[in-house]
Amino acid sequence: MLFRSLRGAVVDATSDPRRLLVDQEARAEGTAALARHVDLVGTALSLVVLVFAFTSIRRDAARERAARRDADEATRFLDSVIENLPAMIFMKEAEGLRFERINRAGEELLGMPREDLLGKSDRDFFPEEQARFFEAKDRQTLAHADVVDVPEEPIETKTGRRWLHTRKVPLFDGEGAPRYLLGISEDITARKANAEALQAAKEKAEAVSRELEAFSYSVAHDLRTPLRSIDGFTRALMEDNPEALSDVGRGHLLRVIAATQRMATLIDDLLMLSRISRASVDPEEVDLSAIATESAAGLRLTAFERDVRVAIAPALKTRGDPRLLRIVFDNLLDNAFKFTAGRSPAHIEVGETVEDGRQAFFVRDDGAGFDGRYVHKLFGAFQRLHDVREYPGTGIGLATVQRIVSRHGGRVWAQGEPGRGATFTFTLSGERATNRPPVQGESSG
């Protein structure tokens, strides 16, 4: 009994430490398992971070390679553009103004390879005066930090003197200080030579024109003097000795007077044609309806006994020299009055039409007309399609019209039939037709 009690006490005494040890072992195993899980998670996270970092590095490296490749391609493209431009492109360093770069056009223009140019300045190649001029323009460009334009500058090259149009601009570093000077030069030698030749030709033509004008007036004066004598003495003969002249003789003298008057008119017409060929054209806005109305009114005074009905469209507007266009209408309307002499009433119309999309103006009559086969002769000087005894004139009027219209950059043409009238139409340069139809009104006389 005692032994059993003692055994029970021993068992009770040792059971608590064993349980404690078992609990400790269980906790230790749990802690170890947690540590293993934490270690696995940490390792996994480390791998994820490493993979992400590696991927990011590779991506950045790929971007950098692509950027370098794009930059290289852009540089090659820019180099190709500069190298193949027809103008000379050069670059100098700002301090000593020595050539840092030049393209193929520059080599060809200067007549030397770039290897002989790079690292050297203008003083190594050009005369002292030219070199100082180039350097002064370079320093001006760098000092003012702006584009300097040199419209003309001579330059001595291996192939002789050339003329350049040069523009220069500074290139700055990151701190805003000029580091390089960039220049673009265009060879204008041929253009300058052409301009000088054109100016010389113009001056020569003006001198010839002045000589021709002086000659024309001299000839006109020399021709008028004997004409006045012929006319004066013929009239004196008729007035002072009427009893000595028969009717036939008087008729002959009247023909002489008429011939001298026609000759005087011809001289005046030739002088007008000559002046028109040299006169300046001063365009402005012109009311052709008003011009035609004034011209017709003046012609009516010379044909007051006739029934001539003139219809002039209102608001005929154009751009031209009003003085010269008045001469156009004076001649065209004079022709219309003249060649409708056999009509009563006679009809003349001034209006507007469209030809090839351009504004055109016409003078139409219902008079004698002409044979269309000979239309090409109408606008030549001294060309006539009718007998001067039936329709007087010098044959200069339509040549004058053609000259004036041509000076305005337009053209003139005619249509007609014998006995059915004629129409003269002309255009002026740059006049586009309006969308409105021609409006016509009538002014009867």
User: Phi/psi at 391 (nearest 5 deg)?
Assistant: -130, 95
pLDDT of residue 427: 92
Q: What is the pLDDT of residue 210?
A: 73
- pLDDT tens sequence across 286-332: 999 999 999 888 888 877 788 889 999 998 999 988 888 988 898 89
DSSP annotation of 150: E
> What span, in angstroms and rounded, lies between the C-alpha atoms of 401 and 331?
7
Widest pairwise Cα distance in the chain? 211
Residue-by-residue pLDDT tens, the chain, 445 positions: 544 554 555 445 555 556 665 666 666 666 666 666 666 666 666 666 666 666 777 677 777 777 777 766 776 776 777 777 888 888 899 888 998 888 888 888 888 888 888 888 888 888 888 888 888 888 888 888 778 888 988 888 888 888 999 999 898 888 888 889 888 988 898 999 999 899 999 888 878 777 777 777 777 677 778 888 888 888 888 888 888 888 888 888 888 888 787 777 777 767 776 777 667 788 889 999 999 999 888 888 877 788 889 999 998 999 988 888 988 898 899 888 888 887 889 899 999 998 888 889 999 998 887 876 767 677 765 555 544 444 455 567 788 888 888 888 898 898 888 888 889 999 987 555 554 444 444 443 4
Reduced to 3 states (helix: H, G, I; strand: E, B; else coil), residue 430 is strand
Torsion of CA 260, 264, 266, 270, to 10 degrees: 150
The b/e string for 140-171 (b: 16+ C-beta within 10 A; e otherwise) is ebbeeeeebebeebebebeeeebbbbbbbbbe
* Bridge partners for 351 per DSSP: 362
Q: Which pTM was predicted?
A: 0.49
CA 146 to each of CA 90, 135, 154: distance values in angstroms, whole numbers, following the listed order: 17, 16, 22
Instruction: Summarize pLDDT for 353-378 with one digit per residue, the tens.
Output: 988 888 899 999 988 878 767 676 77
